Amino acid sequence: MAIRKVILFPSKRLRAKARAVEQVDDAIRRLLDDMAETMYSEPGVGLAATQVGAPLRMFVIDLASPEGGELHAFINPRIVSLEGEIVWKEGCLSFPGISQEVKRHKKAVIEALDRNGKPFTLEGTDLLAVAIQHEYDHLEGKLLIDHVSYLKKRMIRREMVKVHQERGEAMDTEAG
């Protein structure tokens, strides 16, 4: 396993729509393991493959603890139903140090393949439902910033400029 570099906003790579995983094999399982290790190192509760530069339809979620415990891997996920409404203060590893209140569905049902290529269905409520929707958004090229007002978008963009400057990194900016 290896810790991968998390791509930060405003990289245009975060806007790419992920493509389906053709075959669940050892390379995909290694990527899932790397994603989990990266997520735990940050720490976070979820990470999409697009956030580590792999434009594939897969993500990991673990709500148990930063050390791990209840890791879920989702390959080629499909949200089959959404119900209710909840407002949750969300963070994102591609927006370090930033959190925003986002309106989401309180319940989400998702179908996907597990790390062995076996289909499963999972129903999540509250934080699990929020995490599923958040990571699924990444696969569609949709980001945390897309759920906030224009003024908050401007504030987040300024904060991300500071993050890049503090890290001594050039900004790979998105269009628009």
| 83 phi, psi to nearest 5 deg | -140, 155
**What is the token pair recorded at 47?**
């990470």
DSSP assigned state of 36: H
Please report, to the nearest 10 degrees, the dihedral formed by the alpha carbons of residues 92, 113, 23, 130 taken in order.
-10
CA torsion, ordered 58, 66, 45, 37, to nearest 10 deg: -20
Tell me the catalytic residues: 135
